[in-house]
Amino acid sequence: MSQPTTESLYLQPGRNLALELVRATEAAAIRAEPYIGRGDKLGADGAAVDAMRAFLGTVNFDGTVVIGEGEKDEAPMLFNGERVGNGQGPAVDIAVDPIDGTSLTAAGRQNALSVIAVADRGSMLDASTVFYMDKIVTGPEGIGVVDIRQSVAENIQALAQAKKVPVSDITVAVLDRPRHEGLIEEIRAAGAGTRLMLDGDVAGGINAARYGTRIDMCLGTGGSPEGIVTACAIKALGGHIQGRLHPRDDAERQRGIEAGLKMDYVYGADELVRSDNTFFVATGVTDGGLVAGVQHRGPIIRTESIVLRSKSGTIRRIVADHLVEKWR
């Protein structure tokens, strides 16, 4: 078998890319920090977008934003199709959410993150025409065991059996939304507990797939873009994710079909993101179960980030201290 050439290796996203990307999420989180608890989610998002865009412009890659932010909630945009990076290096798809949890930030609540996911060019599913997706996420124990087409009770029982624990030990993360009232009742009727999330189902999905957390499964209807971003992380964690598009009306369904999306179809991890070389980077804006939020400590600003890469199967945590004077 022929060995990859230097040129072909250069055109693939490499291990150093993760450390470049984390600079962008750190910047977005730091710029959003003054808005925490101030009730101005658009102001927070705008500051985070500007900071992320500026840092991404210095990264050695040719990135195309496949999954931007702002179209759904009328926030400032890193828009779909925008080119980012310095135009050199590997060609990649990029998904960005300068703040996953703008409402959480504005209210001063937990689990707001700044997020970037990257994969080889042309490998991310572009689900931008259908804003919502039904999702199920578990750790590796759920592979071949749980299925979004099964009932909630069947999935909970199957996962409990695979993990060799009683059903009563299973905890399911769900976005706390009126649309999920029936789902929450089903989970509890099956004998499992719930962890209700005010926002940020990316963190919920990752915690469901990570070893040693208190969440065993993440279920419910959330943003399609967040589903693709989560898939990039799940591929690095070896977990299980399935998604099924959930159009809000016939017009949106038709737009999805015209864009080449499959309705009433279950997308697996390898269809949500076809690349086996994915990166997921997140920096905490506010404190949460995944990472700590931005902290001012005298002359420094401390950030905590998590960096996942599927090719190497690594999970890294990066705690960085930034001089306040450099950020004024």
The CATH number for 43's domain is: 3.30.540.10
Q: Give the domain-ending residue among 255, 272, 289.
A: 272
DSSP H helical segments within the chain, as ranges?
6-10, 17-32, 41-56, 102-107, 152-163, 181-189, 201-209, 224-237, 250-258, 269-272
Inter-residue contact 95 to 229 (CB < 8 Å): yes
Is 267 marked as binding a ligand? no
Is 120 marked as binding a ligand? no
**Spatial separation of the C-alpha atoms in residues 328 and 321, rounded to whole Å:** 15
Question: Is 80 in the same domain as 18?
Answer: yes
Q: Give the domain-ending residue among 226, 241, 272.
A: 272
Question: Is 244 in the same domain as 291?
Answer: no
Is 101 marked as binding a ligand? yes
Provide the 3-class DSSP secondary structure of residue 290: coil
- Could you tell me if residue 8 is inside a domain? no
Is 14 marked as binding a ligand? no
Question: Is 268 in the same domain as 137?
Answer: yes
- Could you tell me if residue 136 is inside a domain? yes
- Could you tell me if residue 3 is inside a domain? no
Question: Is 265 in the same domain as 285?
Answer: no
Question: Is 151 in the same domain as 250?
Answer: yes
Say which CATH number the domain at 228 has: 3.40.190.90
Is 222 marked as binding a ligand? no
Only one residue has tokens 């099964």, namely 150
Is 249 marked as binding a ligand? no
- Could you tell me if residue 4 is inside a domain? no
Is 35 marked as binding a ligand? no
Torsion sign (Cα): 8, 13, 15, 19: positive
- Could you tell me if residue 6 is inside a domain? no
Torsion sign (Cα): 93, 99, 104, 109: positive
Question: Is 189 in the same domain as 281?
Answer: no
Single out the residue of 15, 18, 16, 12 nearest to residue 306, CA to CA: 18
Q: Tell me, what amino acid is at 248?
A: R
> Would you tell me how many other CB atoms lie within 10 Å of the CB of residue 147?
15
Is 256 marked as binding a ligand? no
Is 141 marked as binding a ligand? no
Residue 78 DSSP class? B
Q: Give the domain-ending residue among 272, 289, 314.
A: 272
Is 264 marked as binding a ligand? no
Domain residues for the domain of 203 are 132-272
Q: Which two tokens stand for residue 17?
A: 């890319």
* pLDDT tens for the chain, residues 1 to 328: 444 443 443 455 656 788 889 999 999 999 999 999 999 999 999 999 999 999 998 898 999 998 886 454 444 567 788 889 888 888 999 999 899 889 999 999 999 999 999 999 999 999 889 999 999 999 999 999 999 999 999 999 999 999 999 999 999 999 999 999 999 999 999 999 999 998 878 999 999 999 889 999 999 999 998 999 999 999 999 999 999 999 999 999 999 999 999 999 999 999 999 999 999 999 999 998 899 999 988 999 999 999 999 988 889 999 999 999 988 7
Question: Is 268 in the same domain as 282?
Answer: no
The enclosing H or E element of 323 equals strand 314-323
Is 201 marked as binding a ligand? yes
Measure CA of the first residue to CA of the last residue in the chain; give whole Å: 54
Query: Which is it for strands 62-67 and 83-84: parallel, antiparallel or unpaired?
Result: antiparallel
Provide the 3-class DSSP secondary structure of residue 306: strand
Question: Is 243 in the same domain as 317?
Answer: no
- Could you tell me if residue 2 is inside a domain? no
Is 270 marked as binding a ligand? no
Question: Is 173 in the same domain as 186?
Answer: yes
Q: Tell me, what amino acid is at 259?
A: A
Question: Is 142 in the same domain as 210?
Answer: yes
Is 223 marked as binding a ligand? yes
Query: Which is it for strands 171-175 and 193-197: parallel, antiparallel or unpaired?
Result: parallel
- Could you tell me if residue 201 is inside a domain? yes
